[in-house]
Structures are given as C-alpha cells and as structure tokens.
Amino acid sequence: MKLREIIDTIESSYPTHLAYDWDNVGLMVGDYEHDIEKIMTVLEVNEDVVDEAIEKNVDLIVSHHPFIFGKIAKVNSETLKGRLIQKLIKNDIDVYSMHTNYDIAFDGLNDYFMEIIGIGNTKVLDAIDSDEFYYDGKKYGIGRIGELKEKTTLREFCKRLKNILESDCVRAVGNPDASIQRVAVVTGAGSEFASKSMAMGADVIVTGDVKYHEAQDVYDAGMNMIDCGHFDTENIFKDVMYRFLSSEISDVEIIKSEVNLNPFNIIV
C-alpha cells in the first residue's frame, strides 16, 4: 500500500487543518509513493525508536509528538536530529506525526482517554471559535468534559487513573475526600484550561505537566486537579492509533512500539 493512501485514510478522520497554527503535523520524513508493508505507532520518535523500527523492518512510524518541531538549521551527523533524519532516510523509514489535530478531532486522543477511564456524556471542553473548526454540524475544540456513572472521591479516582494508565505516580490538588462526578480532561499539558473546566461545572480536571503556581491557583480557587503526567496521559496514543489503523487498513502489518519513552524514574 502506498504511503499516500495511508495518509489519505488517516487525514479523512484527522485532518491536518485541525492543528493549531504553531504546530507541525503531517509527513515529516518520507516519500508519498513509498510502498508500506509495516507500520509502528509510538508517542514520539527518538533514537531508540528509530533503532527499534530498523530492527523490526518498519516502513512507517506514526507518532503523536511532531518529529520535527521548530527550526532545523542543518541536517548533519553533528546534531542528534540530523543523525536521526539521515538514519531514517538511509533505512527507508517514513515518519508521519499527528499532534494537536489528533487532540482536537473527534475519536482522537481526548475521546479515547475519556473512554478508557469510564467517562460518558462527553462534550468539547474548549471549542475553537473559527469557521474552519466547525464542520458537518460539529464544533471542534481541545479537551473533553463528561460524567462518571457514579460519584467517587478524589482519592479513589486518582487510584483508578493510576491503575488504568499504569502510572508510577499521580499527583492531585484538592481535598482527597472531595466528591467527583463531572470530569474534564486535557491530555498532555492542559492546566491552562482549569478555569474553563470550573466554569463548565467540572469537579476535577485531569491533565499533565502542572506547574507549582498553576496548582496554587487551582487550590486557591477551590478546584480539584489531577496531574497524571504528560507521558501517561498521551502514551495511550500508540494503542488507539493501532486500533484505528488496524480497522481502516488491510494488507499492512500494524505494531506498537515497545520502547519505554518516559524520561522520568520514580526513585523514592
């Protein structure tokens, strides 16, 4: 199957125009006419992932985080990114990245997160006020908000998240015994949406990469927040994209990366 056909299939559900202006999505490295026999899904691309792709004879890596982000002045062996690009091209491996367009799209990362943690009756948390983000009667936007079937406590909900996401650590702001039912989610880094979540009646917002002063503001506002970490809220990308590609594409082998990309270790 040609790379162009695979990209068309992906972008029919997750169009690149949904991405924020500052983002970089789409084909990062590769040839649209390349014949693809094996695809690997992964959160992001580093040297370990590239080596894994070479070892497993992968033709296409589909990542969530953009492989190329920001300015690249040179592509040579003196820089890490340059070496990776050279290694990818030498081994005929393409890289396609889908970032904020996948966060925003329906049936994307935020919707899948809501699904696996048991949140129903979901709506867009922060709709984007632009005509290009309104299509087929739907208003697109970042994050989701919905409800648990039954109320729980902040403490018990943290335990549930830790178990489902297989996290080493989950942090929370708020009273551990606070009642939780209406839940907002922004995968990755989304603490900036805490006020929006509270305005929409959320009992808690679940996200990652929460800074100290952001947490302090949430605490002072009497809001609850759970920080599951950037990695743990988005590493599920490889699972949901595996599911999507397996259902939409035939005659191509789909695998998930087995490389541990979490840069943090809980020491004590």
Q: What is the CATH number of the domain that holds 221?
A: 3.40.1390.30
Instruction: Find out whether 103 is annotated in a ligand binding site.
Output: yes
Instruction: Find out whether 17 is annotated in a ligand binding site.
Output: no
Q: What is the pLDDT of residues 208-233, one digit of tens each?
A: 999 999 999 999 999 999 999 999 99
Domain assignment of residue 31, yes or no: yes
Instruction: Find out whether 64 is annotated in a ligand binding site.
Output: yes
Q: What is the pLDDT of residues 9-41, one digit of tens each?
A: 999 999 999 999 999 999 999 999 999 999 999
Checking if the pLDDT of 136 tops 90, the result is: no
Instruction: Find out whether 65 is annotated in a ligand binding site.
Output: yes
Domain assignment of residue 145, yes or no: yes
Same domain, 162 and 67: no
Structural domain for 162, as ranges? 106-231
Same domain, 9 and 85: yes
Give the total number of structural domains in the chain. Answer: 2
Same domain, 154 and 110: yes
Same domain, 51 and 134: no
Domain assignment of residue 147, yes or no: yes
Same domain, 146 and 88: no
pTM value is: 0.94
Same domain, 116 and 215: yes
DSSP secondary structure string for all residues of the chain: -BHHHHHHHHHHHS-GGGS-TT---EEEE--TT-B-SEEEEES---HHHHHHHHHTT-SEEEESS-SS-S-----STTSHHHHHHHHHHHTT-EEEE--HHHHHSTTSHHHHHHHHTTEEEEEEEEE--SGGGEETTEE-EEEEEEEEEEEEEHHHHHHHHHHHHT-S--EEES-TT-EEEEEEE-SSS-GGGHHHHHHTT-SEEEES---HHHHHHHHHTT--EEE--HHHHHTTHHHHHHHHHHHH--SSEEEE------------
Same domain, 9 and 91: yes
Same domain, 129 and 202: yes
Domain assignment of residue 268, yes or no: no
Instruction: Find out whether 230 is annotated in a ligand binding site.
Output: yes
